[in-house]
Chains A and B, each alone.
Chain A
Amino acid sequence: DTEVTQTPKHLVMGMTNKKSLKCEQHMGHRAMYWYKQKAKKPPELMFVYSYEKLSINESVPSRFSPECPNSSLLNLHLHALQPEDSALYLCASSQTLAGSTDTQYFGPGTRLTVL
């Protein structure tokens, strides 16, 4: 099973709302990623977790707050977003960061619209 699942599929929120995106994988992967993707652009890395610890933060604004409660789950908490944050948010996982295998498996994404 090489599946990464994400919920919800679609999310519409106001600028004062608080919401969370969820990601789950059961491949035993110990590295998990959040990406943001705008239309017709490649995915942009936001955060990387390795063994449930934040390993990389690509200078993402604090209105995005990641959390890795356990090795299978990854959350992205959203608060006071701006309309320009509207995008497809992708989760991915890979076996580890330290091994020779860097193959990342992506989920289907959450389409976020900020009004």
Chain B
Amino acid sequence: RKEVEQDPGPFNVPEGATVAFNCTYSNSASQSFFWYRQDCRKEPKLLMSVYSSGNEDGRFTAQLNRASQYISLLIRDSKLSDSATYLCAVNIGTNAGKSTFGDGTTLTVKP
């Protein structure tokens, strides 16, 4: 079993739709969680850090469920420009030197 798993998709949604992605992690010692966005042929860029209480940034909401060991990303009122691959990342342990990345979920928003 992979340490971090994501549904690869693709998710094809119309503009304005609400879409949610989940990411599960296997190590209960995981401490820090992130969502990155990667556009085609570009580098991953941090979208959001995920805090215990959940956090929101505009149309994006990230949540953490430690009991079930998953994080989620909700995108409301999706835009064409949201089309990208979304990678989740997990750091394990208090030092948390490295992140383990999922394989990403591809989102395509259509007119």
Are A and B a genuine interacting pair, yes or no?
A: no
Q: B-contacting residues of A (Cβ < 8 Å)?
A: none
Listed in ascending order, the chain B residues whose CB lies under 8 Å from chain A are: none
